[in-house]
Structure 1
Amino acid sequence: MPNLRFTEKPLSDWMQKGGEYSDVVISSRVRIARNLIHHPFPILANMEQAQDVRNQLTEVLSNQALQDLGPFEPLLLDELEDVDRQVLMEKHLISPNLLNDSKSGAVLLTDDESVSIMVNEEDHLRIQCLYPGFQLQEAWERATQIDDAFEEVVDFAFDDRRGYLTSCPTNVGTGLRVSVMLHLPALAIMNQVGRVLSAVSQVGLAVRGLYGEGSEAIGNIFQISNQITLGLAEEEIIDNLHSVVLQLIEYEQHARSRLLSESKLRVTDRIMRSYGILSYSTMMDSKEAFQRISDVRLGVDLGLIDKASVTQMNELTIMTQPGFLQKTFGVKMGSGESDMYRAQLIRNTLSNVNVQD
């Protein structure tokens, strides 16, 4: 019987810790893609071949060097209920691809959920390290240690000229994706976010939504990541993203200062209206919930709403999503019912939030 503690609570332990610039940067992520040599890549593998890869990679957990970086617990996706797999995706512990398209998929998780190692996603192995705030270097150091521990035991597909080989050509080379999740409400309110993010795209970085490629940017949350993995060293990739994100943080903080100095009454009204709607609505769809939560989170960061509620805002971004709603209330629900239960959950959570006079 799989251990379901990973799907019982909305916040991973790592999300409850601090991090540099955590008022703007929600999280930093490093993901390394690898494939085993002499095995068909997941897109071409049949079920038996995928099962063989899963067995080989989960057996690596017995390696002491890897356990010293964990410990890790394996979850086999075909042993989980649909709702539990959905919750893992909503918590960013697995990808939409692993949820929907994998054969013999699995995820290896640390207790605090800061490391999730996906097996048989688009590639055989995807090592993902998540840190709160702006901690790209820390995430990279841990991810590369885990990569080294696997490479002691298994042979990766590698070409002397091209580097590590992956299912998608855009990951060939280092196989490295680094990304940060940013909350940019002030730039959005001042109608500057489109211009700023367009400039980011022009310097070779990708701008995506909450769940990466193909997902919508809602609640003023944007994921910024590298696009180039071939021809650059890992340190160059990380440094490039680091310098651009520092500029985005500066732009957002400047926009927040301008809101307080030039439009404090107007922005306070917006935040309190959203707080009131969240506190008393009887129905709330997902998109509106994310936007209202973004406003209230901005109120927390501007000191208009009690600082203790920042954890509750983080919780609400997970708890208001379809899988976790079903998990919380124990019922399958249509869209109308989801909107009702979502509003109920938000009302209950915000009943403990303090608003500054």
Structure 2
Amino acid sequence: MNLEHFLKNEAPSWMSKDGVDADIVISTRIRLARNLAGYRYPRSFSEQEAKHVDDVVTNALTNINNVMFSHFTIKEMPALQRQVLVEKHLISPLLAKKEKSASVVISNDESISVMVNEEDHLRIQCLAPGFQLLETYEIADKLDSYLEKHLPYAFDETFGYLTSCPTNVGTGLRASVMMHLPALTMSNQMKVITQMLTRLGMVVRGIYGEGSENLGNMYQISNQVTLGKTEQEILEDLQNVVSQIIQNERKARQSLMKQAPIALEDRIQRALGTLRYARVMTSDEAATCLSNVRLGVDLGLIKGIPISILNECMILIQQGFVQQYAGTTLQATERDLFRAKLLREKLNSVDENSKEKGEEKYDV
């Protein structure tokens, strides 16, 4: 497929399908960091070395028979296209900034992407809807096993897989889940939870990983330790922690419903009204409103709006996607105008579909 397909598709498979505990866990991601023996790491090698590693890795990937992949060279992309791929979680912000030979290989359904010459020679990433740690890891592991037969991985009997950053040495595994935690945030419990997770060897980040901000009550929770534990132990630890957070979020939601039902409904309906009628909207305001509406849908206070539409909207409101749809570079005020227009159009399309089916749109 050509790059235009991936840039314009706001509903990749891992966001449009239902998953386990999808009311709280938006998606599951497995990332495996790998390097080739005999080459310097990307941060220090020459353009010639970068090109050679890029060719070797992408040739191995494009020869896989049972998965359709598309290959794209990073430095051939304009900055806006790179930004859109970051917003879709197909590449990292670091890869988007690369000037030497680097690329990404993406499966047609966008559930798998392999970044070449990011921080490591290759990073395998698999995405799935909802809470599916073991299932997603199996997919990543299968691809990793195939590549290990065709590429000379850098592996040490004592330390495991060798990586550019010491924090990834060992399994090279980073498992993470994207969670929507509005009730825990509203009840001021996230600070305590974050501290608890740190003590357990986990890390809490924003929606785009390290260094990114928290948008719309979305939190990315992942393991921090990769050395001294097996892949199964890492996954089991994260599984247990996330399961507990899911329970805590559900309890917090019910508590809000009992303690302040009118205030909660007012907050949710105001957010819906803002999304449907506002003419100017920043990305922060849009993310907050989408979070409140999602909470309303999950609690049964709003009907007729599929979660998949709200997932699409979370992609649509990002700077790169707004400009992609506008077809030109926009100033901040212009982006805010266009963002509001996109959200109105998206929700109006849901309204029209509901009318055609004779459904009630919202409970008031």
Normalising by structure 1, we get a TM-score of 0.96
Residue aligning to 2:14: 14
Which of 281, 284, 294 in structure 2 is aligned with 1:284?
Answer: 281
Is the partner of 2:26 in helix, strand or coil?
strand
Aligned mates of 2:260, 2:205 — CA distance in 1 = 29
Is the partner of 2:150 in helix, strand or coil?
coil
Percent identity at matched positions? 46
Q: How many residues get paired?
A: 354
In the TM superposition, what is the alpha-carbon distance from 1:61 to its structure 2 partner? 2.8
Q: Deviations over 1:26-70 (max 9, x none)?
A: 00010000001111110111111101101001111354xx332x2
CA contact (8 A) 2:280 2:340 kept: yes
Aligned mates of 2:341, 2:127 — CA distance in 1 = 30
Q: Write out aligned runs for 1:305-324 (5 A).
A: 305-324=302-321
Stretch of structure 1 that moved more, 251-260 or 186-195: 186-195
CA contact (8 A) 2:161 2:172 kept: yes
Q: Show structure 2 runs of 5+ residues with no match.
A: 352-360
Which of 27, 49, 71 in structure 1 is aligned with 2:68?
Answer: 71
Which of 202, 205, 229 in structure 2 is aligned with 1:205?
Answer: 202
CA RMSD, 1 decimal: 1.4
Aligned mates of 2:103, 2:331 — CA distance in 1 = 29
Q: Which amino acid aligns with 2:363?
A: Q
- Cα 1:192–1:61 change in 2 (3 A) is closer
CA contact (8 A) 1:275 1:292 kept: yes
CA contact (8 A) 1:71 1:110 kept: yes
Q: Write out aligned runs for 1:198-347 (5 A).
A: 198-347=195-344
Aligned mates of 1:27, 1:71 — CA distance in 2 = 22
Is the partner of 1:67 in helix, strand or coil?
coil
CA contact (8 A) 1:2 1:79 kept: no
Q: Write out aligned runs for 1:153-168 (5 A).
A: 153-168=150-165
Aligned mates of 1:81, 1:321 — CA distance in 2 = 17
Q: Does 1:355 align with 2:353?
A: no
Q: Which amino acid aligns with 1:266?
A: A
Q: Which amino acid aligns with 1:166?
A: T
Aligned mates of 1:216, 1:267 — CA distance in 2 = 25
Aligned mates of 1:186, 1:73 — CA distance in 2 = 40
Aligned mates of 2:363, 2:308 — CA distance in 1 = 17
Is the partner of 2:263 in helix, strand or coil?
helix
In the TM superposition, what is the alpha-carbon distance from 1:10 to its structure 2 partner? 1.1
Q: Deviations over 1:58-87 (max 9, x none)?
A: 111354xx332x221111122323222111
Aligned mates of 1:93, 1:77 — CA distance in 2 = 12
Q: Which amino acid aligns with 1:300?
A: V
Residue aligning to 1:49: 49
CA contact (8 A) 2:2 2:70 kept: no
CA contact (8 A) 1:28 1:130 kept: yes
Q: Show structure 1 runs of 5+ residues with no match.
A: none
Aligned mates of 1:71, 1:23 — CA distance in 2 = 30
Aligned mates of 1:327, 1:321 — CA distance in 2 = 10
